[in-house]
Amino acid sequence: MEANESTPLAAAEQMFVQYSAQLAEAVDAVLVDWVCNCVKNRAASAGMSLDQSQLARSKDAGEQCQSELSAKMRALLQTDLDAQQGSPLSLLRSSTGYATAVLQSAGVPEVQRDEFEQRAFPEDIYGLAPASFSDVDERLRDPGLEWGAAKAHLHLLRRREAGQR
């Protein structure tokens, strides 16, 4: 059965598009703060304070992250869920290099990571990879949960429409 505006599948498709757009906007809004907070918090946990030039570099890195990641995030979230290669969270996890570069230039020592972290995120020497949307920023918690629920709901409806369980 094809989706039309009156079917649950069509409504789920529309909701998924809406929640995807909201998540993309929310991610865009927090990226600069995320990079800056990663730098400040990791330096502070190492007992280091950052000077104004290092803080400015973290803001520049955040703006670069926003400039480069926002378009990738929007492209991912505008892709049909069955064709998506990766997830928004995996895209965020792959973007720790912006903060890492600032931390390295400031001389912040690497952190001890467990075997899984070393294997899963070999380039993330400061343990910055987020486990959840709220690890990036609390403002991503609800949009991330809503997007995930909408994706799961749409996936289930599509499978049912196709006669799968």
Summarize pLDDT for 115-145 with one digit per residue, the tens: 999 999 999 999 999 999 999 999 999 999 9
21 within some domain: yes
**Residue 105 lies in domain:** 10-160
Read off the pLDDT of residues 97-106 as tens digits, 9 standing for 90 and up: 999 999 999 9
Residue written as token pair 């996936």:
155
83: tokens are 């064709």
Residues in the chain: 165
125 within some domain: yes
Question: What is the CB-side half-sphere exposure of residue 112 using CA atoms within 13 A?
Answer: 0
What pTM does this model have? Answer: 0.90
- For the chain, how are helix, strand and coil distributed in percent, rounded to 5? 70, 0, 30
Question: DSSP string spanning 6-47?
Answer: TSHHHHHHHHHHHHHHHHHHHHHHHHHHHHHHHHHHHHHHTT
141 within some domain: yes
2 within some domain: no
CA distance 28 to 26: 5
1 within some domain: no
How many domains, in total, are found in the chain? 1
Read off the pLDDT of residues 23-67 as tens digits, 9 standing for 90 and up: 999 999 999 999 999 999 999 999 999 999 999 999 999 999 999
CA distance 95 to 112: 20
CA distance 23 to 29: 10
